[in-house]
Structure 1
Amino acid sequence: MGRRERLAALARLGAEQRLVSLVGPAGAGKTRLAVQHVTRRAEQVWWTALAAAPDVVQAVYQAVGAHPLPHRSARDAVIAEIDQHRRPLLVLDNCEHLLADVAGVVSELLARCPRLRVLVTSREPLRLAGEQVFAVGELELPPAGSDVAEALRHDAVQLFRDRAVSVDRSFEVDSSNVADVVAVCRSLDGMPLAIELAARRITVLSPADVLARLGDRLALLTAGPRASDDRHRTLRAAISWSYDLLSDAEKTACRQLAVLGAPFDLGVASAVCDVPDALELLTGLEQKSLLVAERAAGRTTFRQLESIRLYCRERAQECGETDVVADRAVDWVCSVVEPEISSFFPAPAVVLRLDRDIGLIELAVARTAEAGDWTRHALAIVATAWTSTPHRPRGAPTELLHRALSQDLPPAYRSVLTVLAAMHHRVRGGWHVTRRFAQESLAVERTGTSRPGTLARALEVLASAEAHTGDPELARRLYDESAELLRSSDDKLARGLLLNSYGWTLLQHGEAELAAPLVRESLTLIRLLGLPHMLNPVLHTAGAIALARKSFPEAVALFREGLEVGAEHPMDQYYDLEGLALGLVGAGYDDERALSLLTAASAVRTRYDFRAEPYWQALLDEARSVCRARITAGRLRAAESTGERMSLAQAVSHALTARPVTGDDEGMVSARELHVATLVAEGLTNRQIGQRLGISPHTVARHVTHARTKLGLRSRAQLAVWASYDHNP
């Protein structure tokens, strides 16, 4: 099923190379791919099934139909038979349990038979010189949410449908079950054997029922075709065959890594397996197709296919290893978090490390709560508060924070948790609760703990709460004290974040001009530190100041940059969508897109109970009113509907990529007009543009007028906003 491109690639490789190994995990379809490949060959092919063979040479001897030679070995007889053919191909199927023997035989045959080609199927390579490894993995999977037509364009769904129809001719993939079929295929990692076994259950279970039972898939996915060998009759048997071939150390690593339930890197694997360096273990398991290595952004992580993980986790439970592994995960999380709890803000590298290993944090939270280890539970919750995922915003859930704070904790840990609780309620508009928690943290830090970072953070959070609960003068004194502490500590990142908070608070109280130099310094500090992912909140405040000054093109540019640099943490981007929308509305440009962005951001706020500050909420309400007044009724509903349907990631993409339609070729802006518009967006006057381009200010004005006319824009400010977008075809 499918694999057309893989077959073509295999055919090209087989024509060029003498030794090709099809390597992949249990049930990936290596044998079937090999069968399809050899049926297309006109030359002599010998198929050698090694799954049940005790001796490689004898199996090959029988497969090639060799004849005994007087006083010669069986190997000599095999070579004599092979030499009679012009371009023979020897296939050795299922070699993983006889790797050393197979490698020895293949090496000799290739050396003595210059016309021979060899195709091997195995769960790990032979590791011979000249061997070309051809990875056989999962079938192509459709994205979640695919409709019927889209789903059936993918090999995994086609396989499920065809195998289901083979046992129930009335079955079809339709709108009522497509979501469940896609979910089944994705949950099974696109592995052909698992999909086939799941599809065979359609005689008694619906796709929804199959999906619901996949948590116990090793019991569910049984009863393969009677013609299959025993290893392929059940999913458990297929995985067990691979597991039983491992060394004791590899079996232990497989079991212990399965407890994590999340991708991991080399450092985490070493900690969990309690070895100085797990490199050789991971390398061996990856080569044996029991781990999948994934490389992105210069980093390698590993994961187990879910079916393999569930099998190995069962073995870990039988060996009593689940609690041991959970305790090691707790040790790892605490070792990363504890050195940072006295900081105003944890080191960005630490946050990134925790973001990448969120699965360990969840395991550590559960284990410490179960064991009543409240001190280390507090550290695990701190790790949760510092992290985010593409589907969850930064911060610990309310119930976790409050439950931990109900326990007896060391003062230093309690202080960190209370300030995190204060920050948690701050983004939800609970200013009085924020104030109470911040005061509690400050009381601990005032007792002479000599932790300027945590003291400064408590002061900063309390200052923002005081500003919103009626004492702005006290807020300024608290901010100033916090800034002085950080100045002496020389923590530039912390100072940058504090100045941004101070500036944002001043702006909300009508002090845009006082806020501007603070935010400008904050932006400079964080840019100098080379931390683009930390720029997001500062760019937002800078954009808000530009809005207050009515500098709408500048605001749009700043909010767009915030969306771009915040890509690693998409759940933080709803604020920038709102800011960009405000800039568009202020410039009188693209009200419909602005309303869509406001609607999409509002959905995020509702989902997570993120309440805008009164100052910001007033701007949002006014922008919506302006949009509704300027957009016709039909287009208004369409814009809101678009925003309601978009995910946050889609809204960000829409914000960054959409640009005006300029009509037919006669109405297109010329290259010179585009250049002029770009310089307008930079804030240059007509005279300055003329000096840069070597043309008169009058000519610049004519280009500006022509561009505005072609685009239907009413002002120079609108042209500047338009020019801030990418206009490459």
Structure 2
Amino acid sequence: MTADAACMTCGNPLTEAVAGRRYCSNACRQRAYRERTSARDDSSGDSGVPTPLDTFVGRREELASLARLGAEHRLVSLVGPAGAGKTRLAVQHVDKRADQVWWTALASASGVVQAIYHAVGAHPLPNRSVRDAVIAEIEQHRRPLLVLDNCEHLLADVADVVSEFLACCPRLRVLVTSREPLRLAGEQVFALGELELPPADCDVAEALRYDAVVLFRDRAVSVDRSFEVDSANVADVVAVCRSLDGMPLAIELAARRITVLSPADILARLGDRLALLTGGPRAADDRHRTLRAAIGWSYDLLSPAEQAASRRLAVLGVPFDLGVASAVCGVPDALELLTGLEQKSLLVVERVGGHTTFRQLESVRLYCYERAVECGDASLVADRVVEWVCSVVEPEISSFFPSPPVVLRLDRNVGLIELAVTRTAETADWSRHALAAVATAWTSTPRGPRGAPAELLHQALSRPMPQASRSALTVLAAMHHRVRGGWHVTRRFAEESLAIERADACRPGTTARALEVLASAEAHIGDPALAWRLFDEAATLLHNSDDKLARAILLNSYGWTLLQHGEADQAAPLIREALTLTRLLGLPHLLNPVLHTAGAIALARKDCAEAVDLFRESLSVGSEHPMDQFYDLEGLALGLVGVGSDDERALSLLTAASVVRARYDFRAEPYWQALLDEARAICRDRITAGRLRAAESTGERMSLAQAISYALTAQPPAEDDGLISARERHVATLVAEGLTNRQIGQRLGISPHTVARHVTHARSKLGLRSRAQLAVWAGRHTL
């Protein structure tokens, strides 16, 4: 027995005669029993659990999961971002317990032990510490639960106290609410995210099956009894909930604005949500009265490095990966920074196709962006993005074709490339502006087809730059005009690129590229014999190269050009080799152009059934880049006409492809155009007038994605198959062109607020998080 052992009731020292006991006498033991019984009887009245005045909405699955965890584990940490409803869920959880519960609110506390001491109603013990008094009180209960609410600002102290109490009190269970876990052994982390969100295009009945919409309705009715979710406002209510990421606090604050704003008005103002979402209940904690305060509480608890990272990542406005984050934050490896921010519920992790990206909830991003502007981080981030883009592009600038991993990396960061283009133009950094323009040409851009717009290429070429960059840009400009039938301009740019390459004489890859583009131009408007010599020279340059992709692309171009000059038999072995090389690469989407040429050769040989199979395969493997597939729609239609199996579907596919060609000024080569014209004539002869118009109408109203689905499934799209309305699709297209809301409004004759509504509706229906993502979607799908 230690010298300081004392009776748990009276505090008198225990003698050797009662060693190993907790009480000095039967009287003290009986007194302790009476106190425990009284404590259990009064537990519902002195627990300190808050009594909410509003209704609790949803979270049925979360409550059930939390109950299971609480029953199986002694320490559970309920974590989530600002405004996720952690405290409210904890209240609902403990309300269903019959055991002793102590609620300890730590938001305004400075000392953890003292706050727990008062919460449990402990009594001072002679010659014993406050911790000992708390432990003594806890030990009087059979299965006590201690709730520590809002621990994020006292994590180290809470972790120390909790670990001690759990060790000393084997019957104790602890529930912690915080924006990050304690990181203790045995801790079970329960991550609380957004409320369940409805699909964007649901009706009233379906919308009201989702917690987010029910919460909005409940809180709106609490301030305006006449409010109801109906067919006139359901789309706006759903869009508001989706735009607010399903966060309960933000939804509640938005709903309270219903006294002066309609759901449509609230939606239109969410761009300035930090100013809009204020005015929480007066009795609420200050942190929960405005969205800005809720997020600011989390931001203020970050370390200086984490605050800087949050600000700088907010400038990006698009999802990012670890490499981008490291570059933007100015550190060799941002893993620890991102891990810390994710644990503090300030980042969302997403994994798609084995690739991990991060994003900030939009409300968090807007708050951090405000801080970035105050701290002057916007320019710093833009410069670092420029450095990142150039570091990806520059090693590939002398290649025949950029490696697929580089293209994929740039495709995933189209928004960053746009930022780099803008920044280098603002700072007149023309050398790096050229590299940013090259990056744009290598990717799928918000403007739709792969490749940079002509204006960007021509403007960049008017500026001073290194010769290697100029050669890359001129050949890209030549390729841009080639797909639009501008053969004379194509030849001029290709000749300039080839002249630079011949003068340098040390870059076989880019020399072969210039030769290939010039050869295709010569074949159409110059000397075909010269074209074959240029193709052969390019093939010789690549013969000893390990770049199988470059050789496959060259052989496909050579074979396609031969085919157009009636040399199908000479083209066939080249395409067979190109197919073999491309399949060996294991990159299915790169098969698309080679399969197309193989299908065209089959058509030339009158083997229409084989052509149909090849074009179907091309459509299937090319889904990663659907913008490249309008040619395959035409090829499949030609095969169907040749087989004579489905003229109406063939005509619909031809019409859908022609819409894409007209929109982007993609002009078919004379050889291919003649085949298309002949197929249309055959269809018009074989289809009755009524069915003819119906087939053309089907093709006109289909998006490219719908046309590809129709080609592969033979199921035409329903009238209401589009996710977004025609006006929303039109607005999205203008967003992709880089217009502001005011400029779009002026063009369409509507107000900027109405434009903002269309933008937000379209984003919500498509599940997109930002305006930049909507622009990317419009470029890829609104065709």
Q: CA RMSD in A?
A: 2.5
1:225 corresponds, among 281, 291, 296, to: 281
- Looking at structure 1, the residues matched to 459 and 263 of structure 2 have their Cα atoms a distance apart, in angstroms, of 40
1:255 corresponds, among 298, 306, 311, to: 311
- The answer on whether the counterparts of 1:17 and 1:132 sit within 8 Å (CA) in structure 2 is yes
1:77 corresponds, among 133, 143, 150, to: 133
What corresponds to 1:613 in structure 2? 669
What corresponds to 1:283 in structure 2? 339
What corresponds to 1:100 in structure 2? 156
- Looking at structure 1, the residues matched to 395 and 372 of structure 2 have their Cα atoms a distance apart, in angstroms, of 32
- The answer on whether the counterparts of 1:22 and 1:30 sit within 8 Å (CA) in structure 2 is yes
Structure 2 residue 654 is the aligned partner of structure 1 residue 601: no
- The answer on whether the counterparts of 1:93 and 1:120 sit within 8 Å (CA) in structure 2 is yes
* Displacement after TM superposition at 1:246 (Å): 0.7
- Looking at structure 2, the residues matched to 170 and 593 of structure 1 have their Cα atoms a distance apart, in angstroms, of 51
* Displacement after TM superposition at 1:177 (Å): 4.2
Cα distance per residue 1:284-331 (max 9 Å; x no partner): 111111111212222222111122112112212211221112111111
Give unpaired runs (5+ residues) of structure 2.
Answer: 1-56, 717-783
- Looking at structure 1, the residues matched to 116 and 85 of structure 2 have their Cα atoms a distance apart, in angstroms, of 22
Give unpaired runs (5+ residues) of structure 1.
Answer: 661-729
| 1:144-543 equivalence runs, <5 A | 144-388=200-444, 392-543=448-599
Inter-CA distance 349–304: structure 2 relative to 1 (3 Å threshold): same
What corresponds to 2:104 in structure 1? 48
Cα distance per residue 1:511-559 (max 9 Å; x no partner): 2222211111111111122222321211121122222223333223322
* Displacement after TM superposition at 1:643 (Å): 4.3
What corresponds to 2:708 in structure 1? 652
Paired letter, 1:315: R
Q: Under a length normalisation based on structure 1, what TM-score does the superposition of the two structures give?
A: 0.85
Inter-CA distance 394–49: structure 2 relative to 1 (3 Å threshold): same
Paired letter, 2:296: S
* Displacement after TM superposition at 1:616 (Å): 2.8
Other structure's SS at 1:447 match: helix
Inter-CA distance 579–116: structure 2 relative to 1 (3 Å threshold): farther
The farther-off stretch of 496-505 and 24-33 is: 24-33
Other structure's SS at 2:503 match: coil
What corresponds to 2:636 in structure 1? 580
- Looking at structure 2, the residues matched to 628 and 121 of structure 1 have their Cα atoms a distance apart, in angstroms, of 70
- Looking at structure 2, the residues matched to 653 and 132 of structure 1 have their Cα atoms a distance apart, in angstroms, of 45
- How many residue pairs get aligned? The number is 660
Other structure's SS at 1:259 match: helix
* Displacement after TM superposition at 1:341 (Å): 1.1
* Displacement after TM superposition at 1:408 (Å): 2.4
Structure 2 residue 114 is the aligned partner of structure 1 residue 36: no
Cα distance per residue 1:689-712 (max 9 Å; x no partner): xxxxxxxxxxxxxxxxxxxxxxxx
- Looking at structure 1, the residues matched to 384 and 353 of structure 2 have their Cα atoms a distance apart, in angstroms, of 27
- Looking at structure 2, the residues matched to 628 and 137 of structure 1 have their Cα atoms a distance apart, in angstroms, of 57
Inter-CA distance 201–493: structure 2 relative to 1 (3 Å threshold): same
The farther-off stretch of 600-609 and 327-336 is: 600-609
- Looking at structure 1, the residues matched to 94 and 692 of structure 2 have their Cα atoms a distance apart, in angstroms, of 61
Paired letter, 1:277: D
- Looking at structure 1, the residues matched to 172 and 465 of structure 2 have their Cα atoms a distance apart, in angstroms, of 72
- The answer on whether the counterparts of 1:390 and 1:570 sit within 8 Å (CA) in structure 2 is no
- The answer on whether the counterparts of 1:389 and 1:571 sit within 8 Å (CA) in structure 2 is no
Cα distance per residue 1:354-392 (max 9 Å; x no partner): 112222211111110110111110100100110116883
- The answer on whether the counterparts of 1:263 and 1:359 sit within 8 Å (CA) in structure 2 is no
- Looking at structure 1, the residues matched to 685 and 259 of structure 2 have their Cα atoms a distance apart, in angstroms, of 58
Same amino acid, percent of matched pairs: 84
* Displacement after TM superposition at 1:642 (Å): 4.7
- Looking at structure 2, the residues matched to 468 and 432 of structure 1 have their Cα atoms a distance apart, in angstroms, of 9
* Displacement after TM superposition at 1:150 (Å): 4.8
What corresponds to 2:743 in structure 1? none
The farther-off stretch of 369-378 and 4-13 is: 4-13
Inter-CA distance 175–110: structure 2 relative to 1 (3 Å threshold): same
- The answer on whether the counterparts of 1:291 and 1:304 sit within 8 Å (CA) in structure 2 is yes
Inter-CA distance 620–181: structure 2 relative to 1 (3 Å threshold): farther
Paired letter, 1:445: E
* Displacement after TM superposition at 1:640 (Å): 4.7
- The answer on whether the counterparts of 1:389 and 1:569 sit within 8 Å (CA) in structure 2 is no
- The answer on whether the counterparts of 2:410 and 2:443 sit within 8 Å (CA) in structure 1 is yes
- The answer on whether the counterparts of 1:452 and 1:489 sit within 8 Å (CA) in structure 2 is no
- The answer on whether the counterparts of 1:423 and 1:461 sit within 8 Å (CA) in structure 2 is yes
What corresponds to 2:8 in structure 1? none
What corresponds to 1:19 in structure 2? 75
- Looking at structure 2, the residues matched to 335 and 275 of structure 1 have their Cα atoms a distance apart, in angstroms, of 15
- The answer on whether the counterparts of 1:600 and 1:648 sit within 8 Å (CA) in structure 2 is yes
The farther-off stretch of 44-53 and 570-579 is: 570-579
- Looking at structure 2, the residues matched to 150 and 648 of structure 1 have their Cα atoms a distance apart, in angstroms, of 29
Which protein has the larger Cα radius of gyration, Structure 1 or Structure 2?
Answer: 2
- Looking at structure 2, the residues matched to 44 and 640 of structure 1 have their Cα atoms a distance apart, in angstroms, of 73
- Looking at structure 2, the residues matched to 647 and 655 of structure 1 have their Cα atoms a distance apart, in angstroms, of 12
- The answer on whether the counterparts of 1:24 and 1:30 sit within 8 Å (CA) in structure 2 is yes
- The answer on whether the counterparts of 1:419 and 1:461 sit within 8 Å (CA) in structure 2 is yes
* Displacement after TM superposition at 1:432 (Å): 2.5
- Looking at structure 2, the residues matched to 154 and 592 of structure 1 have their Cα atoms a distance apart, in angstroms, of 42
Cα distance per residue 1:407-432 (max 9 Å; x no partner): 22332222211111111122222223
* Displacement after TM superposition at 1:593 (Å): 4.1
User: Which of 1 and 2 has higher RCO (CA within 8 Å, sep 6+)?
Assistant: 2
Other structure's SS at 1:465 match: helix
Cα distance per residue 1:202-224 (max 9 Å; x no partner): 33333343333322222222112
